[in-house]
Amino acid sequence: MSTDNNNRSNDRSTHRQRVLGKPVSTSSPVASDATNLNGVNSRSALTQGQPASSSAHQFLKIHDSINEQSVSDSSTSASLSSFDQQQPSQSALVEPSMNLHEDLNLICPICNEKMVTLNQLNRHLDDEHQSFEPVNNFDEDLKSWFKKKVIGKASDVISIGGSLGNVRSPTRNLVKLDVFDNDKNFTYSIVNDGSSSVGEQQNLAIEIPKTHWKKQTGHDICHMENCFKNLNIKNGIVNCRKCGNLFCNEHAFFRVKINKDLQYDSINGVMVRSCQLCFENKPHYNDLAYTRDLTDLFKQMRQKINQEKDLQINILERRLLKFYYFFQKEKNGNVLSFNFKNFEMSVVNWENDKEHKFCTICNNKFNFAMMRKHHCRLCGEVVCGNLENGCSMEVPINILMQYLSIGLTDAKQQVQQVQQVQEQDQFQLKGTNYYAPLPEQQDKPIRICLNCKKSMFGKKLFLKDVNGEKSETLRIYDTILIYKIKIEQLLPIFKKSIIKLNNLDNTKNEKTHEDTMNKLNNNHEIIQEISRQRVALKDLFTKLDSISKKLHHKIVEDEKAHNISNDELKLEKSIYSVAVLFLQENMIAFQNIPTMTKQRPDIENEISNVKTIITKPKLTKAEIRASREKLMVLKEQKFLVEEMISSSKKKRKFDDLKSLELNLNDLSKEIDELDARLGDEYGFN
Amino acid sequence: MDLTKLSSNYISRLLNTSKDSKDSKNSNNNAFLQPNIKVLLLDKYTTPIISMISTQSELLQHEVYLIDRLDNFGRDKMRHLSCICFLKPDEESINYLITELQSPKYFQYELYFNNILSKNQLERLAEKDDFEVVVKVQEIFEDYLVVNKDLFAINNVDHTPIYASLDSWNKSYLNTAVNSLTALLLSLEQKPVIRYEKNSAMAETLANNLNSKIKENSNNQLFDTFAIKDVPPLLLILDRKNDPITPLLTPWTFQSMVHELIGISNNTVDLSYMPNISKELSKIVLSPDQDSFYKESMYLNFGDLSDKIKDYVEKYKVKTKSTAKLDSIQDMKQFVESYPEFRKLSNNVSKHMSLASELDRNITQQRLWEVSELEQSLSCSNNHSSDLEDLEKLLNNLSTNDALTEEQQKLLPPISQEAKIRLVVLYALRYESNPSNQLSKLLNILKSQGISDSKIKLIQFIVRFYGKTKRLDNEENLFNKATSTLIAGFKTSHENDNIFMQHIPRLEAIISKAVRGKLPASMFPILSSNNDYALNPNEKSQDIIIYMVGGTTYEESRIVHNLNLNNKNCRLILGGDKILNTHDFFNDLYTNFEKYEKNKSGIDRNDLSIEERLQSRLDDLT
């Protein structure tokens, strides 16, 4: 896609000249010459199939020059790359050459239509032959002809690319349409094949439509947000190929791949010039922070493994129950205790202890002193009985049974379970309480190893802890959390109603008396509501404050007494600091609220009055408060009505005036009444 | 491609995602009664990562009330708390985690790994999760340090040396770097085309290893899920040895200067060596996310910085004045309301004040104005005779300013040895091919100044192995001056003509070429792990990740930052093995030099007879 820098700047400079109105000496004459030749020779090349090699070369040149013209035009965007919008500036540009060749016959090389001007030919090529199928054939013809005739002789002058239209010109200063576009408006346009990747070569046939392009009005402004540049030759006028809007050069300096439906298409699309917005909004452009979740895979794996483990645990539990029943029977005298050894061996196959020289758990060598050989009665492994290592231990059966019943909160379920086992084992034990601890003298111990203990009871103990009672710190935290959540719920509501109050005051365009009354009533309600919310909030804050103080005391005590662990203390401190921070932040917000209403001193007054009423119980006699509030509202109403009267007087709306005056009278009457009721002490005068 | 955004995204995943699992589990319970106090467990690798992208208060806000190390076995059983683990999936951490899972201290665990977790590792964890406490396993790929939003560094916790010898990697470090870069690419969702500098064996090894690592993992929802981009993202692996100049120069922007003169490690600056420093300021954090002043000033040069600090202090003074008189209740109230903000401001003011004054002290003491002026002249103008003259003066601790009298000259503090060596190295590299090169004379001066022989040998070593013949391209890019050359389609990073900041690192020229699709394939070969993209050396890159083997500098990061601002059509991220200052760079050079000397004597040894070799072995042993 890259184009030679020099080429680009050359084009720009030639273009600048053109724009200035000077006749272009370099490209136009060449173009016209070529056109001339083209009109005669290339046509004969087609028809007769025996052209001179130079004419074919010239033929290429003409299209190059046509291209070049469009390059310069569209890259600075002074006017248009699409020729169908005929721009005055453009026709002016072509004028000189047009005059020169007015008398020449221009014939379209494809359909032999007669043309008057070069410009017309350009437009014709653009309109008629843009996607003209026979073109390909023509191209093929041309190519095969090249292959036959030219390549051998003049391969250093002209080379042919492998694919459609992929012809490299020896004079490389003739560039393709646009520095950004892979836009094949001209089927013969020269492509720098060194830069086009395989994908692009396949997509050469894709054409991006221009129908969505915004037309220039002459005083456009860059479509980019916050860019108010006027679009002109200096700043550039560029249509984003994707969205069609007009942009200045700076904001149209981007490239995206789109397909002919103007959709983003990184795989099959063509690279075109775009605006910053289209560039930055392309899909996956802002993809970030990739993660891979392995939870499901992990759970699958775990399930497989843990199912087996559960099976194992089940077997161990059953064996333990067998021991339990055996002891029960023995207690009832059904079994003789000298059979116990045989019974033990029957529960599980004992490992041959001669084969084991080392403990299977701690890997220490057995001896006759501390490291005696023992068999775990549940799994049959040979383990040591060293108490320090704790590889195996004799544990009374009732303790084991207690452990086993952990988590089996549903007694019925447990009984059922036990019964099932019991039936299978053909033990007859009627009327015994299975999970009650046995009387102490009958607590026979059995030896179990560490592994069996862990796998049988580990999870039960863990669950017991999880479902067990929380520490005091956590209980405090729970309470703090509740208050916090409540405050967080209430505070926004409180703020909202304050804002609502302010808004109500700020809308002063009531026309009728009713509106005014409604507003005042609303105001009144809101004020009452606010005062209620305020009380509730204040209550919550005090509670939160006191509990965090309690926590603080606890921390100080705990630190002195060293009676809790380090982590617990850290936890307490963190909780405390968060609670204090929360209080600080939200209390400040809470205190800020009255100041928000400062613009309206009367309301500030009301609120503070409400506040004083709340905070000073002496004054909170409901009657007084109610009438005072009513009085305030009425006074405000009166004030407003008076204002309205004066304004309608100014505007000479005497119809309104009448009703307003009536209103005013009513209001003053009521105010007087209230004043009289409240007397001097609680009144406002 | 904003690394700060990326990490805050990851942090929020780390802290919030417990919601869904909690909801499903405790949907029946009252949400009020199920507080979710969390414990965050880290390992030695993830601790610095977290500390750079988050703060204690942010964690507290998300109910993370305890933060601890996984390998701390003294932790208490607290089975009402849930636990978040953020770990690196290496053997050590996995083993610790298995021990933890076998006797869980908390009621549930969410496991997050900062790099690719192998299937084998996952299986081992699943095997040991008897209590089914693990509710989540996720990879969040943050196995590198985020320094700025466009600067990263390898998280080299153990300070493993980078070089095994000159031009070859230390194997264990290489592994770390490859893993880190893999994580970076995954987190940015980029499957890049890799290019490296042809003359660098290290860059090539890294490129190849990384490439095969990407290929290896291009399945299992890793690199295979990434969308194909318009233009393939580019990972450009450069070698420090092709630009030894940039890390030799004294930088003049805030962040670079702090690193150069005081030292930044993991975004913290240790000021505890300063006398009379208050406890709060003995260790300060410089993070652009939390410190708006720093964010605005980190790329300012020292002059602008001083002005900015002045304004800042003025602002502060106005505030203190207004709060100084608390006559009316209104004043009091305002003071209380703005108190937290106020306190923050005052902390910040004193922090930056003490930093700036410390910088200033260092500059005067080390006579950096003079040194830097000569450095700049050496690095970007061609003026042999006057440079030589100035250099000799500075080596003799004289001033380059002729106006000073001899008395005044004597009062000047001496120039540090390191700075002198630096200047001579710069001279040697700059005028390497100049026919009137006077290096030996300068080395003699250095010797007379009491600089050790090994250091003088080091200078010769640098010239030999970092000299012209060893570098990839011509000197134009290396000794680049800030000029306002217009490059079509690319806006350069510099606009000021500060005489202390004339030199432009070579990096800019390379980026400019990459953006315009002009990196020659002969100098920057291409590797692609990626069949999605054709290998096209002339592609105009839109996303470029640059990795500097041997470490990058804050100065280069500033360039990248400015280029990102000026060129919206490309996004750049810079990273390196570490972030160098001149001191670090010299240390690296010195260790390489020592290794080389050792090797050389080793090679020599092979030429000796057997008896002699045995003798030297014995000598080595004793």
CATH number of A472-682: 1.20.58
Interchain CB contact of B229 with A (< 8 Å): yes
The answer on pLDDT for B370 being more than 50 is yes
The Cα–Cα gap between A357 and B577 comes to 53
- pLDDT interval class at A337 (50, 70, 90): low
Q: Which ranges constitute the DSSP H helices of A288-361?
A: 295-332, 340-347
Question: What average pLDDT score do residues A87-92 get?
Answer: 41
Pair A51, A42: CB distance under 8 Å: yes
Q: Tell me what percent of the residues of chain B surpass a pLDDT of 90.
A: 13
Interchain CB contact of A307 with B (< 8 Å): no
The Cα–Cα gap between A57 and B355 comes to 71
For residue A401, what are the contacts with CB-CB under 8 A and spacing of at least 6? A320, A324, A434, A435, A437
Residues of chain A with Cβ-Cβ distance to B87 below 8 Å are none
The answer on pLDDT for A200 being more than 60 is no
The Cα–Cα gap between A79 and A70 comes to 10
Residues of chain A with Cβ-Cβ distance to B221 below 8 Å are 292
DSSP A251: G
Residues of chain A with Cβ-Cβ distance to B98 below 8 Å are none
Q: Compare CB distances from B132 to A195, A302, A575 and report the shortest one's residue.
A: A302
- pLDDT interval class at B358 (50, 70, 90): confident
Coil/strand/helix, residue A292:
strand
- CA A340 distance to own-chain centroid: 68
The Cα–Cα gap between A634 and B452 comes to 95
Residues of chain A with Cβ-Cβ distance to B24 below 8 Å are none
Pair B249, B379: CB distance under 8 Å: yes
pLDDT of residue A58: 45
pLDDT of residue A509: 53
Q: Phi and psi for B487 in degrees, rounded to 5?
A: -110, 125
pLDDT digits (tens, 9 = 90+) for B121-152: 999 998 888 888 888 899 999 999 998 889 99
Residue among B26, B65, B135, B149 with most chain A CBs within 10 A, to mutate: B65
- pLDDT interval class at B276 (50, 70, 90): confident
The Cα–Cα gap between B39 and B462 comes to 51
The Cα–Cα gap between B79 and A679 comes to 66
Structure tokens, B582: 């001149």
pLDDT digits (tens, 9 = 90+) for A530-583: 778 878 888 888 888 888 888 888 888 887 877 677 788 888 888 888 888 888
Q: Which of A48-57, A245-254, B166-175 has the lowest mean pLDDT?
A: A48-57
Pair B489, B543: CB distance under 8 Å: no
Question: What average pLDDT score do residues A346-363 get?
Answer: 77
Residues of chain A with Cβ-Cβ distance to B188 below 8 Å are 288, 290
The Cα–Cα gap between B87 and A519 comes to 61
- pLDDT interval class at B89 (50, 70, 90): very high
State which of A153-157, A260-264, B120-124, B340-344 shows the largest mean pLDDT.
Answer: B120-124
**In angstroms, what separates the C-alpha of A425 from chain B's closest C-alpha?**
29
List B residues 15-34 in contact with A (Cβ-Cβ < 8 A): 32-33
Is the four-CA dihedral A454, A456, A462, A464 of positive or negative sign? negative
Structure tokens, B186: 């995954």
Question: What average pLDDT score do residues B400-421 get?
Answer: 77
Coil/strand/helix, residue A316:
helix
pLDDT digits (tens, 9 = 90+) for A528-543: 777 788 788 888 888 8
Q: B107, B90, B110: which is closest to B41 by C-alpha?
A: B110
- CA A341 distance to own-chain centroid: 68
- pLDDT interval class at A67 (50, 70, 90): very low
The chain-wide mean pLDDT, for chain A, equals 65
DSSP-assigned states of every residue in A485-527: HHHHHHHHHHHHHHHHHHHHHH-----SHHHHHHHHHHHHHHH
- pLDDT interval class at B87 (50, 70, 90): very high
ipTM confidence: 0.80
Per-residue exposure over A72-91, b if at least 16 CB sit within 10 Å of its own CB, e if not: bbbbbbbbbbbbeeeeeebe
The Cα–Cα gap between A236 and A77 comes to 6
DSSP-assigned states of every residue in A446-466: EEEEHHHHHHHHHHHHHHHHH
Is the four-CA dihedral A431, A434, A438, A442 of positive or negative sign? positive
Q: Which long-range contacts (CB under 8 A, 24 or more apart) does A230-234 make?
A: A233/A19, A233/A76, A233/A78
DSSP-assigned states of every residue in B189-252: T--PEEEE-TT-HHHHHHHHHHHHHHHHTSSTTSGGGSPPPSS--EEEEEEGGG--SGGGSPP-
Is the four-CA dihedral A560, A563, A567, A573 of positive or negative sign? negative
The Cα–Cα gap between A27 and A96 comes to 12
Q: Which of A432-436, B277-281, B581-585 has the lowest mean pLDDT?
A: A432-436
For residues A77 and B218, which has the higher predicted lDDT (pLDDT)? Answer: B218
- pLDDT interval class at A44 (50, 70, 90): very low
For residues B455 and B281, which has the higher predicted lDDT (pLDDT)? Answer: B455
pLDDT of residue B391: 85
Strands (E), B490-582: 526-528, 543-549, 552-553, 571-576, 579-580
Do β-strands A392-396 and A382-384 pair in parallel, antiparallel, or remain unpaired? unpaired
Question: What average pLDDT score do residues A437-442 get?
Answer: 45
**In angstroms, what separates the C-alpha of B131 from chain A's closest C-alpha?**
6
Q: Compare CB distances from A584 to B126, B228, B340 and report the shortest one's residue.
A: B340
* Domain ranges (residues) in chain A: 5-194, 206-285, 295-466, 472-682
Q: Which 3-state string (H, E, C) describes B481-497?
A: ECCCCCECCECCCCCCC
Question: What average pLDDT score do residues B241-255 get?
Answer: 88
Q: Using the structure block, give the residue that is written with the tokens 């959540």.
A: A485
The Cα–Cα gap between B583 and B263 comes to 10
For residues B209 and A433, which has the higher predicted lDDT (pLDDT)? Answer: B209
The Cα–Cα gap between A491 and A486 comes to 8
* Domain ranges (residues) in chain B: 3-140, 147-241+495-580, 254-365, 380-466, 585-621
Cross-chain Cβ contact B536/A306 below 8 Å: no
The Cα–Cα gap between B81 and B40 comes to 10
| Torsional class of A274: left (φ above 0), alpha (ψ -120 to 50), beta (otherwise) | beta
Cross-chain Cβ contact B130/A194 below 8 Å: no
Residue of B nearest to A582 (CA): B61
Cross-chain Cβ contact B137/A290 below 8 Å: no
Residues of chain B with Cβ-Cβ distance to A471 below 8 Å are 78, 80
Residues of chain B with Cβ-Cβ distance to A1 below 8 Å are 517, 538-540
Domain A295-466: CATH superfamily, name plus number: Zinc/RING finger domain, C3HC4 (zinc finger) (3.30.40.10)
**In angstroms, what separates the C-alpha of B135 from chain A's closest C-alpha?**
7
For residues A506 and B360, which has the higher predicted lDDT (pLDDT)? Answer: B360
The answer on pLDDT for A305 being more than 60 is yes
Q: Which fold has domain A206-285?
A: Herpes Virus-1 (3.30.40)
For residue B540, what are the contacts with CB-CB under 8 A and spacing of at least 6? A1, A2, A255, B231, B515, B516, B517
Q: A466, A453, A465: which is closest to A317 by C-alpha?
A: A453
DSSP B71: T
DSSP element (H, E) containing B163: strand B163-165
The answer on pLDDT for B14 being more than 60 is yes
Coil/strand/helix, residue A630:
helix
State which of A56-70, A361-375, B356-370 shows the largest mean pLDDT.
Answer: B356-370
The Cα–Cα gap between B18 and A168 comes to 61
Cross-chain Cβ contact A301/B122 below 8 Å: yes
Rg (CA), chain A: 48
The Cα–Cα gap between B46 and B49 comes to 5
Pair B196, B203: CB distance under 8 Å: yes
The answer on pLDDT for A456 being more than 60 is yes
Coil/strand/helix, residue B145:
strand
Cross-chain Cβ contact A574/B138 below 8 Å: no
Rg (CA), chain B: 27
CATH number of B254-365: 3.90.830.10
pLDDT of residue A376: 82
Pair B159, B490: CB distance under 8 Å: no
Q: A498, A505, A502, A529: which is closest to A629 by C-alpha?
A: A529
Pair A169, A185: CB distance under 8 Å: no
For residues B293 and A66, which has the higher predicted lDDT (pLDDT)? Answer: B293
Cross-chain Cβ contact A571/B66 below 8 Å: yes
Q: Which of B27-41, B70-84, B449-463 has the lowest mean pLDDT?
A: B27-41
Q: B152, B97, B107, B153: which is closest to B127 by C-alpha?
A: B97
Structure tokens, A41: 């020779």
pLDDT digits (tens, 9 = 90+) for A400-434: 777 777 655 544 454 555 545 444 443 333 334 44
Is the four-CA dihedral A243, A244, A248, A254 of positive or negative sign? positive
The answer on pLDDT for B104 being more than 50 is yes
Pair B314, B257: CB distance under 8 Å: no
Is the four-CA dihedral B43, B44, B48, B51 of positive or negative sign? positive
pLDDT of residue B113: 92
How far lies B504's CA from each of B220, B240, B371, B560, in Å? 43, 15, 18, 12
Cross-chain Cβ contact B189/A287 below 8 Å: yes
Interchain CB contact of A5 with B (< 8 Å): yes
Same fold, A206-285 and A295-466: yes
**In angstroms, what separates the C-alpha of B10 from chain A's closest C-alpha?**
6
The chain-wide mean pLDDT, for chain B, equals 81
The number of residues making up chain B comes to 622
Is the four-CA dihedral A614, A617, A618, A621 of positive or negative sign? positive
DSSP-assigned states of every residue in B279-315: HHHHEEE--TTT-HHHHHHTT-BHHHHHHHHHHHHHH
Interchain CB contact of A131 with B (< 8 Å): no
Interchain CB contact of B519 with A (< 8 Å): no
Does domain B3-140 match CATH 3.40.50.2060?
Answer: yes
pLDDT of residue A62: 43
Residues of chain B with Cβ-Cβ distance to A266 below 8 Å are 227-230
Interchain CB contact of B130 with A (< 8 Å): yes
**Residue A634 CB: number of other CB atoms within 10 A?**
21
| Torsional class of A562: left (φ above 0), alpha (ψ -120 to 50), beta (otherwise) | left
Cross-chain Cβ contact A289/B130 below 8 Å: no
The Cα–Cα gap between B579 and B556 comes to 10
Interchain CB contact of B210 with A (< 8 Å): no
Domain B147-241+495-580: CATH superfamily, name plus number: Sec1/Munc18 (SM) protein, domain 2 (3.40.50.1910)
pLDDT digits (tens, 9 = 90+) for A160-186: 333 333 333 333 333 333 344 443 333
Interchain CB contact of B5 with A (< 8 Å): yes
pLDDT digits (tens, 9 = 90+) for B444-463: 888 888 888 888 888 888 88
The answer on pLDDT for B188 being more than 50 is yes
Interchain CB contact of B161 with A (< 8 Å): no
Interchain CB contact of A468 with B (< 8 Å): yes
Cross-chain Cβ contact B37/A571 below 8 Å: yes
For residues B246 and B603, which has the higher predicted lDDT (pLDDT)? Answer: B246
The answer on pLDDT for A590 being more than 70 is no
- pLDDT interval class at B178 (50, 70, 90): very high
Question: What average pLDDT score do residues A36-63 get?
Answer: 41
Same fold, B3-140 and B147-241+495-580: yes
Interchain CB contact of A477 with B (< 8 Å): yes
For residues B210 and B537, which has the higher predicted lDDT (pLDDT)? Answer: B210
The Cα–Cα gap between A85 and A79 comes to 9
